[in-house]
Amino acid sequence: MALPTQTDDFPGWYQEVVRQADLAENSLARGTMVIKPYGFAIWEAIQGAMDAEIKRTGHQNLYFPMMIPARLLEREKEHVEGFAPEVAVVTHAGGEELGEPLVLRPTSETIIWDTYSRWVQSYRDLPLLYNQWANIVRWELRPRLFLRTTEFLWQEGHTAHETAAEAWDETVRMLEAYREVVEGTMAVPVHKGRKTAAERFPGAVETLTIEALMRDRKALQSGTSHYLGQNFAKAYGVKFLGRDGEEHFAEATSWGTSTRLVGGLIMAHGDDKGLRLPPKVAPFQVVIVPIFRSDDEKARVLEAAARMAEEWRAAGLRVKVDDRDDLRPGFKFADHELRGVPVRVEVGPRDLDAEQVTLARRDTGEKTAVPLGGVLDVLTGLMPEIQQALFDDAVAFREANTHRAGGYDDLRDAIAGEGGFVVGAWCGGADCEAKVKADTKATIRFLPIEREDPGAPCVVCGGAGTETATWAIAY
């Protein structure tokens, strides 16, 4: 029952939290998972915030099929090579071998851009600002629940534009939308940046990313936004008659976030007792644990608990009364701590006599007695306070685990030692990038979106620095 500590065994801690908090479990096909109701409720909260932000920024949802003729995938060379090892192919159906195999979408650029070739004729048809919520299949050899699964849920935006400048603005806009949701709703601080050529999405001209730091000091890529240039328009023949009367290829972006965010939420906030959920994504923000010995006490306490729950729900809080009578209060306390419920309210006969309840905060462990008349106000005030406290905590952790490297020894020692983000100048050379990866397993997580002079020599080769790179070992 006890969790491994984060320090002793972080992967074991993660696995046990996912299992004991009832978030998800492995299923039968390799790398697939069952997302259980508590885990799915967390995903729905993130998904709802993300969907609202995607619509607020001017996009509409639509839906494309999950099976794509294999020949379509083959048209964009870099794209097909990038995804080939992960693609699952349907070869038989209807009792016979298919004349043409179908792939299960590893991402939908190919089918969408093939379709856009029929939707786009003139500049008047642009921009197309579409998003879909879908499941994706990428064959996974080392699966981990939420972080890497063969099938996962995500959203993928696919936009088409008249000009490169417009498409680039869109790429940057959606990265900011991701930052807004991940920081504002999940309380996970992220760095926005640009990927190196080696880390780019297959077929993209530039890939932008948001990167978060987990409590084992590894980085998690939490969302990506790609500027695709005309690569897909050329491969799939998306041409339009421009304002100048000439034919042009459309400019493209795509951007995605997935159920991986749930894994990030667990690892960015969790502690040795389990999850710590920000109120905005907590399936229950408040749990009431009734405390009683006799049947008389039980009736009195449960009635009071039901009344409070009703009042607080009417005020917009998500409240659960834990009235399971086969479990002791101490067990329930630990159970809700494991599940990360932001506030626990303990109510027993002595509390009712004194016209008060006891509140316990999950984030700080702090316990306070609050008069019955004032509980709702306190709870309502606590929700934004806990949301902010978890964010501040994660920012402080990230800052404490960000190091500057002046030379190669610094870089190597920082990564091999405490880990975290290590910032240093880089010459832009793929050799230097590969050397760090070979020596330390760390990769360049991001560069500033706009290139800037680091004002220092490359920490790897000592040559002229052209970029400020941030390295980390990543999921």
Closest CB to Zn ion among 334 and 461?
461
CA distance 448 to 459: 17
Piece of the chain touching Zn ion by CB under 5 A; list 45-53, 211-219, 416-424, 461-469: 461-469
Strands 402-404 and 421-426: parallel
Q: Name which position in 405, 458, 469, 473 contacts Zn ion (CB under 5 A).
A: 458
Closest CB to Zn ion among 320 and 437?
437
Closest CB to Zn ion among 306 and 461?
461
207 neighbors 226 (Cβ within 8 angstroms):
yes
User: Does position 460 bind Zn ion by CB under 5 A?
Assistant: yes
Q: How far is the CB of 432 from Zn ion (least distance, A)?
A: 3
Q: How far is the CB of 424 from Zn ion (least distance, A)?
A: 10
Q: How far is the CB of 213 from Zn ion (least distance, A)?
A: 25
**HSE on the CB side for 149, CA within 13 Å?**
25
CA-wise closest residue to 198 among 406, 414, 421, 432: 432
280 neighbors 188 (Cβ within 8 angstroms):
no
Positions in 120-149 near Zn ion (CB under 5 A)? none
CA distance 5 to 21: 16
Q: Which DSSP helix (H) or strand (E) runs through 132?
A: strand 128-137
| Residue 176 amino acid letter | E
Q: How far is the CB of 461 from Zn ion (least distance, A)?
A: 3
Closest CB to Zn ion among 325 and 431?
431
Closest CB to Zn ion among 101 and 463?
463
| Contacts for 450-457: CB closer than 8 Å, 24+ residues apart | 454/424, 454/425, 454/426, 455/425, 456/406, 456/424, 456/425, 457/425, 457/427
CA distance 327 to 322: 10
Over the range 198-229, which residues count as b (16 or more CB within 10 Å of their CB) and which as e? Answer: ebbbbbbbbbbbbbbbbbbbbbbbbbbbbbbb
Strands 443-446 and 206-213: unpaired
What torsion, rounded to 10 degrees, do the Cα atoms 247, 110, 40, 148 define? -130
Closest CB to Zn ion among 106 and 465?
465
Closest CB to Zn ion among 391 and 408?
408
Closest CB to Zn ion among 340 and 424?
424
Positions in 378-437 near Zn ion (CB under 5 A)? 427, 429, 432
Piece of the chain touching Zn ion by CB under 5 A; list 54-62, 119-127, 260-268, 455-463: 455-463
Q: How far is the CB of 466 from Zn ion (least distance, A)?
A: 9
Q: How far is the CB of 433 from Zn ion (least distance, A)?
A: 8
Closest CB to Zn ion among 21 and 432?
432
Please count the residues of this chain forming the interface with Zn ion, following the rule CB under 5 A. Answer: 7
- Find tokens 């039980």 and name the residue: 298
Q: How far is the CB of 200 from Zn ion (least distance, A)?
A: 19
Q: How far is the CB of 465 from Zn ion (least distance, A)?
A: 8
Q: How far is the CB of 208 from Zn ion (least distance, A)?
A: 23
Positions in 162-221 near Zn ion (CB under 5 A)? none
CA distance 115 to 122: 15
Piece of the chain touching Zn ion by CB under 5 A; list 91-99, 241-249, 257-265, 460-468: 460-468
428 neighbors 400 (Cβ within 8 angstroms):
no
10-49 mask for Zn ion (x: CB under 5 A)?
----------------------------------------
Name the site residues for Zn ion (rule: CB under 5 A).
427, 429, 432, 458, 460-461, 463
